[in-house]
Amino acid sequence: MCGRYSLSSDPQQVSKLFGIDNTSNFNSRFNISPGQDAIAIYKKESKINMGFLNWGIKINLKLNNSSLVINARSETINKKFLFKNLFETKRCLIPANCWFEWDKYKQPFCIHSRQSNIIAFAGVIDIKTNQKSNFVIATSSAEGGLENIHKRTPAIIDKNNFDLWLNGSPEEALNLLSPINSSAFNWYRVSKELGSVKNDYPSLIEEIEEQQPSLFN
């Protein structure tokens, strides 16, 4: 899955990468979490825009009880009732510098591209008329070394395919959701302070040394 990520690049850099003229200003974020607003790239009235959307779609499970859906599996995104219509016509890109996953020992890792400082997650938008729209991030199965951390990764769209993801047919878009090549990414341990959504500062993405077990524990 993808449950946390970071975007600290300059807004101008993000706009340039996606070929957008109307730059939206935003602050550096080091621990973007579900339920929070985040920058997304999406099509509006035939133009590509950059703006804030809210991460996660609420679904009602029972009366007065709802659940926040933050990811959509690439294997079923074009079939499930919640995502099918969104996938066909309302796709988006989520810029990030890295994302975070926890291994089975509850150790968080920062995962980033070897080749590009800014990557783009595949996403879909649930557009609201009188309130802020929402997005979810598509995921694919992890392969190579990444599966030792977590079985899922965000689906990442190559910059050469940005337009195809946003404007292509559902069939063309689906073909872009293949598992990522783990050899194109690096990962390292980061502080467990990342676990609190209240924490959001640069040291969260800094590498920490592997802690050795104590003889006295």
Domains of the chain: 4-205 (3.90.1680.10)
Q: What is the pLDDT of residue 87?
A: 97
Q: What is the pLDDT of residue 211?
A: 66
Ranges of beta strands (E only) in 103-215 are 108-113, 119-126, 134-141, 152-154, 185-189
Q: What is the pLDDT of residue 156?
A: 97
Q: What is the pLDDT of residue 63?
A: 55
Q: Is 201 left (phi over 0), alpha (psi -120 to 50) or beta?
A: beta
Q: Collect the ranges in the chain with pLDDT lower than 70.
A: 61-65, 129-130, 211-217
| DSSP summary character for residue 122 | E
The Cα–Cα gap between 97 and 36 comes to 17
pTM of the predicted model, to two decimals?
0.93
Q: What is the pLDDT of residue 47?
A: 87
| SS3 state of residue 95 | strand
Task: Name residues whose C-beta falls within 8 Å of residue 195's C-beta, 6 or more positions apart in sequence.
Answer: 108
Please choose, from the candidates 141, 101, 140, the residue with its C-alpha nearest in 3D space to the C-alpha of residue 123. Answer: 140
Q: What is the pLDDT of residue 165?
A: 98
| SS3 state of residue 195 | helix
Over residues 96-122, the pLDDT tens digits come to 999 999 999 999 999 999 999 999 999
C-alpha distances (whole Å) from 202 to each of 2, 29, 55, 112 are 20, 8, 21, 15
| Residue whose entry in the numeric block shows the structure tokens 């995962």 | 111
Q: Are 144 and 181 in contact (CB under 8 A)?
A: yes
